[in-house]
Structure 1
Amino acid sequence: MITPALEEKLAKYIKGCDCELYDIVMLKEFNQDILRIYITSKEGITLDKCQEVSNLISPLLDVEVPIASKYILEVSSPGIERVLKKPSHFALSLGERVEVKMMDKTILEGVLQECDDEGFVIDSQKIPYSQTKKVKTIFQW
């Protein structure tokens, strides 16, 4: 639903608030459509920062989002345990512990050491993105 051109505009707006666009997710919770925008920043994400970004991008979304139904806009941090989908997500998570669910249902766990456009390395094992089903950071208390 969000076009690449709109995603690029959103990224520019968000960058103006000293943040980076992490991800955009459209989901349904309790029969309500939710457009969730995840943002990151080296300084961390506060509720005030989420509100600032929401106030900035809301008028743009009112005009440009091709969603027929009413929706709720949520701006949030991706959280301490977050799904890694894009090479940029992996780059932001270097040095963190990750759980990898492979296409063959194997589950691996280790420290994310390197990444590039083709795949990533955990505990000296190179894993192509194409062989993974889901990768997420994990936090150990």
Structure 2
Amino acid sequence: MSSQIQEKIEKYIQSCGCELYGIELVKDFGQDVLRVSVYSKEGVSLDKCQEISHLISPFLDVEDPIASKYILEVSSPGIERVLKNPRHFSFSLGEEVQVKNIDKTIIEGVLKSCDDEGFVLVNSQGEHKIAYAQTKKVKTIFRW
């Protein structure tokens, strides 16, 4: 999908008070699904997902960014979500995260700050500056 189309989708989503979290084309039971994840600090309701879907669906029909037939799915990335880029980290500041490093160590703590190179995690052992390149998987965690 072109960056221009992605930018327009992002503007539609922002007009609804949310942020674009990610767009991916996946196969689900043999059907192509264009999965658009949206984020808001206040949470994303089913009504908000429906509003965004109704807003971007006609745009996608006109632009036709995907050659095959697909289903549009608009959803929240969830309470426990994978952080893949600096933008995801900035959305999750102040939240508890679990970091699996490439050396297989696991560390948990509160996400204090982030920039283009890495992030700072705080836990009972102190502050940990971690480069994105050192991580294998980072996700938010929710304690029940």
TM-score, with structure 1 as normaliser = 0.92
Distance in 2 separating the partners of 1:43 and 1:128:
28
Question: Is 1:61 aligned to 2:64, yes or no?
Answer: no
Q: Which residues of structure 2 form unaligned runs of 5+?
A: none
Say how many residue pairs are matched.
140
CA 1:59–1:132 in 2, change beyond 3 Å: closer, same or farther?
same
Quick check: 40-49 or 128-137, which moved more? 40-49
CA drift at 1:86: 1.8
Q: Could you tell me which residue of structure 2 aligns to residue 70 of structure 1?
A: 69
Q: Could you tell me which residue of structure 2 aligns to residue 137 of structure 1?
A: 140
Q: Which runs of 4+ in 1 moved over 3 A?
A: none
CA drift at 1:50: 0.5
Instruction: Name the Cα RMSD after superposition.
Output: 1.3
**1:80-91 to 2 correspondence within 5 Å?**
80-91=79-90
Amino acid at match of 1:113: K
CA drift at 1:43: 3.3
| Paired-residue identity, % | 67
TM-score, with structure 2 as normaliser = 0.90
Q: Could you tell me which residue of structure 1 aligns to residue 99 of structure 2?
A: 100
Quick check: 18-27 or 49-58, which moved more? 18-27
